[in-house]
Structure 1
């Protein structure tokens, strides 16, 4: 793009910002963010060792053989978490778009930590490259790619990895979660005491628009169900076995991550168990 535009920095900035926005929206493949590092035997490390070695310990997998590479991804974690705590195997993360609603604690997903890759991997590499480019005044070092990346809009933090990465959860926090209220059957938002016991709707949905919300939820669920079934059919044809389809964890296959994302989106679709009785037809 830089050479095709004859060194036009505005075109370059728009191109980089456009792709950064796509990453932050979840429009990418997890395969592009997998690290493949070779690790030495554990007794050769004085401390915890590099991030790859810590990822092996956290995953509980058998230690790689000499010369074998271990694959891991840096996922989003709770505030203040260390990289060692969020380095996970690729099968534990999804690179898709945020789910439409909160899912159960036991099925809490892990997302790729895009900000880490932008700030620590992609941004510095591009910055070093374009620091050699001369700016409009003819001087080098006038192109600050890291500032372009930082200026872009950032999505609201999805603090969903905390419950999965914590080793245990106290009974007090569980009680707080129960006291937070119930979920509206139409919009999926927690509304506490404002939920109607007979209709299962929050105050806003009771005032109007509940039927359309329910129809939208059913439409979304149908869409993701078809996506999941389509991925499963591809997996069964590839493995020639229905049993292998569930056990396959091929991180080099794009269909695997598409299926993981579709299953996650499906689990987040809000569809009521029954039509609310108080809806004004």
Structure 2
């Protein structure tokens, strides 16, 4: 039965709302519909999550992508071979989806977590961390005759605001050629809950309220501690640094400490079992999922106690006590390291539960020895199970700002080759284009390995010249930003993902991206003074239109150089001056040119002034006078150039035909995640000047 307009609109709105942040846009009662695309967003970090890109990075296999127009034409074709190609395309994608599930062990791992947390399979995928913590906490609390508080939204809103924040030091930003140790407290917040018996059930409230006969505000509710009871347990009370009193385990063992103790002990047992069953793949996978689930729960527990905005049962007194004690523990560790003269160490950065320790003049062997000594000394000053673990040595490294650093990492003493390890900088971020990440990573590696700024300068200038001359691959300059849904943007928003979507919808009303989908785009040259939002284009448009060129000036000055400057300014290098030293290159292809002018001839697309195709000298006669005196040389060079381009094109077409299974001359694949598509487009564009070169040859 067809839906009336109102019902249809309401149904579409409900579908949108359901699909925007849960597992699937399709809801069938009694069935769990797995949206593998949404699951992959949590499993792998990629620039975009198209089936072809995920398939390549997870399965290491290329999948072709055809437009709906091509697939429809194949299906409508009377020849059976074309109809079979359409069926085969969809069968291969279904098979690929099943391979993804199998490769990442998603079904078994989710089942194991559901069993571990005591929640439904679907809720593991769709519900948040608080739901998992509460499920486990209530299982521990029920035999102890506890029930959870259920505050209203108003009660939660009236609760006091948090007063304590974790210790995050401002790092001593510079390039460190000496060894920097990284030490990390193992499960710091869970360890503090266990060590000091912090829990909802053991908290007596702020010290200033103790001894009063009246009830006082406590978390979202109120609490009353009788003075005579307080007098009886006066010797079994600990006070947190934030001034909140808790009873010791001898009076009452808290629910959270009991739960976390069991979790951490079980995780150690599971890890030991993994070593025993490492040859049995099925059991090993199951145990890996189990230990991962236990790790998540242990780390989520603090968040449950302090979630004052969206929490189910927040308690600021408890949350503040955990954070303040963790802060005090880290501060004591930093003081111990700085005050112990025999190590000659200095803490240059601290972040929540970790610290970076500089050892001037120490070798790699000495660094590992001192790191182990520091870990043991700090662990000895804290109650069990609070433990400082020596993680790794950076040699050398760059500390940029809070939560942004990069270095060559050594995790064991016998490790010969270091591992490039970066946190928070553009090499691991996804809000820029791949070229930025590649250039920055290569420049930092050159700095670490050679310490030669001239080599880095030459490399960066070469990359800039490639882009200015139009020789760089478009694939490396594609941005991919998440689309938040048409209703999530303010009227008149200038957001590239929204702008591209509007153009797609003008062409096809059903082509709107899903909420959270990454929309690819590039920035091209345009008329002077045009706003940036009008220079946004889909990569497919740039491939199809020879007059569109990547905006090299924008990419170099706004994307590539700023991250480089943030790193190299720490050693006094002005990266922007490298760009200003480059010669200015002017190409003809411009979006300002009219369509008629673009059709004038192939030569006008490639040369502003006429250059000799043999020696590249300026000339008004096609081939310069000097080369005309050597006709045989000209014939060999031009024939070689044409033949080389044709050979490249044939090779790339063969690769495409083998991948797509299509043996027509025209390759219908439009996958932007395949580098062959961009290489083929570039070679075809260069080959379009072959008629002009043959015309010159005919003159001889």
TM-score, structure 1 as length reference: 0.69
The 3-state SS of whatever aligns with 2:522 is strand
Q: Contact between 1:228 and 1:263, CA under 8 Å: does it hold in 2?
A: yes
- Identify which of 40, 48, 63 aligns with 2:484: 40
Quickly say closer, same or farther: Cα 1:207–1:249, change in 2 above 3 A.
same
Residue 268 of structure 1, CA deviation:
2.0
Report the equivalent of 2:667: 246
For the 8 Å contact 1:73–1:90, the answer to whether it is kept is yes
Work out the CA distance in 2 between the residues paired with 1:188 and 1:16: 26
**Structure 1 CA distance for aligned equivalents of residues 523 and 551 of structure 2:** 6
Which residue does 2:525 correspond to in 1?
Answer: 76
Q: How does 1:163-174 map to 2 (within 5 A)?
A: 163=593
Q: What is the CA-CA distance between 1:9 and the residue it aligns to? A: 3.2
Distance 1:9 1:219 in 2: 39
Secondary structure of the residue that 1:247 maps to in structure 2? Answer: coil
Find the partner of 2:574 among 141, 144, 150. Answer: 144
Instruction: Please say which of residues 209-218 and 240-249 is displaced more in the overlay.
Output: 209-218
Q: CA deviation at 1:74?
A: 1.1
Per mean C-alpha deviation after superposition, the further-off stretch among 265-274 and 124-133 is 265-274
1:122-133 pair list within 5 angstroms: 122-133=560-571
1-side partners of 2:447 and 2:501: how far apart? Answer: 40
Structure 1: gaps of 5 or more residues: 95-105, 134-141, 191-201
Structure with greater Cα Rg:
2
Deviation at 1:222, TM superposition (A): 2.4
The alignment of Structure 1 onto Structure 2 pairs a total of residues equal to 237
Q: Residue 208 and residue 27 in structure 1: after superposition, are their counterparts in 2 closer, same or farther (change >3 A)?
A: closer
SS in 2 for 1:224: helix
Per the TM alignment, residue 71 of structure 1 is displaced from its structure 2 partner at its CA by: 0.5
Q: CA-atom RMSD, angstroms?
A: 3.8
Matches within 5 A, 1:1-281: 1-6=446-451, 8-43=452-487, 44-59=489-504, 60=507, 62-93=511-542, 108-133=546-571, 142-163=572-593, 209-210=627-628, 211=631, 213=634, 216-243=637-664, 246-269=667-690, 270-272=692-694
Question: Quick check: 12-21 or 67-76, which moved more?
Answer: 12-21
Q: Contact 2:602/2:688 (CA < 8 Å) preserved in 1?
A: no
* Residues 18, 3 of structure 1: alpha-carbon distance in 2 compared, 3 angstrom cutoff: same
Distance 2:602 2:470 in 1: 28
Q: Do the aligned partners of 2:603 and 2:689 also contact (CA within 8 Å) in 1? A: no
For residues 143-183 of structure 1, give each alpha carbon's deviation from its aligned partner in whole angstroms, at most 9, with x where no partner exists: 211221222223223333333xx6x76xxx79xx97xx997
Task: Give distance in 1, aligned partners of 2:546 and 2:682.
Answer: 12
Moved more, 110-119 or 80-89: 80-89
Distance 1:276 1:32, change over 3 A: closer
* SS, match of residue 688 in structure 2: helix
Summarize the Cα distance change of 1:80–1:215 in structure 2 as closer, same or farther, 3 Å threshold. Answer: farther
> Structure 2: any 5+ residue segments left out of the alignment?
1-445, 611-619
Deviation at 1:209, TM superposition (A): 4.4
Deviation at 1:203, TM superposition (A): 5.2
C-alpha displacement at 1:206, in angstroms?
A: 9.5
1:111 to partner: Cα distance: 2.2
SS in 2 for 1:37: strand
In the other structure, the counterpart of 2:37 is none
CA distance in 2, matches of 1:242, 1:255: 16
Deviation string, structure 1 residues 77-107 (Cα, Å, up to 9, x no partner)? 333333223211112335xxxxxxxxxxx96
Mark the CA change 1:244 to 1:54 in structure 2 (over 3 Å): closer, same or farther.
farther
Partner of residue 196, structure 1? none
Contact 1:126 1:145 (C-alpha < 8 Å) held by counterparts = yes
Change (3 A) 1:182 1:226: closer
Kindly indicate whether the alpha-carbon contact (under 8 Å) linking 2:483 and 2:519 is maintained by their aligned counterparts in 1.
Answer: yes
- Residue 188 of structure 1 deviates from its aligned partner by 11
Are 1:2 and 1:12, in contact at CA under 8 Å, matched by a contact in 2? yes
In structure 1, how many angstroms separate the alpha carbons of the residues matched to 2:482 and 2:649?
Answer: 34
* Separation of aligned partners in 2, 1:182 and 1:120: 32
| Alignment partners' CA distance in 2, 1:206 and 1:146 | 37
Partner in structure 2 of residue 138 of structure 1? none
